[in-house]
Amino acid sequence: MILKTPAIPLRITPYSNTSRVVRWLTPERGRLGTLIKGALRPRGGFLGQYDYFATSELLYYERRKEGLHIARECTMTERRPELRTNWRGGVCASYVTAVADRLTPDDAPSAELFAFLERALDHARFVTERAAEFLLWFELQCCIREGRAPRLECCAACGSPIADGDELGFDVARGGVLHTACRRGGDSAQPVAPDVLALMRAWARAAQPGQAARTRTRPRQRETIGALLGAFLEYHLELPAAPRKAAYFALTAGETLT
Ligand SMILES: [Zn+2]
C-alpha cells in the first residue's frame, strides 16, 4: 500500500553509500521511519526534497514488519531557508526538533504535536532576539501539552489559590509552586519571586510563540525560569539535559561574542 503524508525529519542517518534512513514526524502516524534508497543519487529524485526543519510531502510503501517503510517519492513543501543563515533560529530549530523527537510516540496520531512543531519552526525562522524567551515558552507549552502543566495558580501542597504577597517556593517533585508554610521537611523547593511567577503564568497562557517572544525579561529571570523548567522537564518528561544545555549555551555564548 502507498501512503501519502506531510512529514518533518527528526533524524537523518546514513544507511549505505547512497541510502539514508529518515525518522519523520507525521500528523497521522507520529514517528515514522523510512529507508530512502538512492537518497544521494543525482537522478534519484530525493536530493534537496527533504531536510532538517523543512516540511515535505512523503509518499511511502507501508512495510510494518521490518520496522522501516520504503520512501517512494518526496517533495519539499516548506523549506524554511532562513534557518540556514539565521544562527539563532537554527539553534532554536535544532532544539525544538530534538524535543519533538523525544515526545512523539511511534505510530500514533500526533496531529497537534505536528502543528505545534511547524508553528515553532516557522517562528524560529525570524528569531533575532529573545530566543531564550521563545525556548522557555516552548518548553512550558510542551509540559502543558503532555498533561504535565506545572501548577502556577494554586498551591501544590494545600490546593488553595495563590494570593498576592504569599511567600512561595517551586517544588519540581510536587509539580509546581507551593506556600513556603506548606513545605514538608523533605521538600527541596526553590524560592519563587512574584515577577518570575507572573512571567511563567503569562507564557503558560500564551498560545502563540509571538506573544511570548514579545516579553522582555531580565537575565536573572531567564536564569531562574530556565533552572526551574530544566529540572521539571527532566523529572516529569524525562527529557535529557544535554541538548537543552547545548542550545542555551550556544545562545548565551553567541550574545556575548556579537
Ligand atoms: Zn499551601
95-143 residue pLDDT tens = 999 999 999 989 899 999 999 999 999 999 999 889 999 999 999 999 9
* Ligand 1 ion: residues within 5 Å (CB): 155, 157-158, 179, 182
Q: How far apart are CA 251 and CA 164, in angstroms?
A: 34
142 C-alpha to ligand 1 centroid (Å): 26
3-state SS class at 120? helix
Domain ranges of the chain: 2-78, 129-257
3-state SS class at 124? helix
Q: Mean pLDDT over residues 66-86, rounded? A: 94
139 C-alpha to ligand 1 centroid (Å): 26
Contacts by 207-211 with C-beta closer than 8 Å and gap 24+?
A: 208/119, 209/119, 209/120, 209/123, 209/134, 209/137, 209/138, 210/123
pLDDT reading at 256 higher than 70:
no
pLDDT of residue 15: 93
Helix axes 194-205, 131-145, angle to 10 degrees: 70
Q: How far apart are CA 8 and CA 22, in angstroms?
A: 10
156 C-alpha to ligand 1 centroid (Å): 7
157 C-alpha to ligand 1 centroid (Å): 5
pLDDT reading at 43 higher than 90:
no
Helix axes 131-145, 87-103, angle to 10 degrees: 10
Q: In the CATH hierarchy, which fold is given to the domain comprising 2-78?
A: OB fold (Dihydrolipoamide Acetyltransferase, E2P) (2.40.50)
Cell output for 119: 508553528
pLDDT reading at 258 higher than 60:
no
* Closest residue by Cα to residue 55 from 29, 27, 34: 27
248 C-alpha to ligand 1 centroid (Å): 33
254 C-alpha to ligand 1 centroid (Å): 41
219 C-alpha to ligand 1 centroid (Å): 29
pLDDT reading at 44 higher than 90:
no
143 C-alpha to ligand 1 centroid (Å): 22
Segment 151-202, tens digit of pLDDT: 999 999 999 999 999 999 999 999 999 999 998 877 778 999 999 999 999 9
Containing 15, the helix (H) or strand (E) segment is: none
* Percentage, residues of the chain above pLDDT 90: 82
pLDDT of residue 257: 62
201 C-alpha to ligand 1 centroid (Å): 18
73 C-alpha to ligand 1 centroid (Å): 57
100 C-alpha to ligand 1 centroid (Å): 34
Confidence of residue 214 (pLDDT cuts 50, 70, 90): confident
Q: How far apart are CA 110 and CA 103, in angstroms?
A: 10
Segment 110-122, tens digit of pLDDT: 999 999 999 999 9
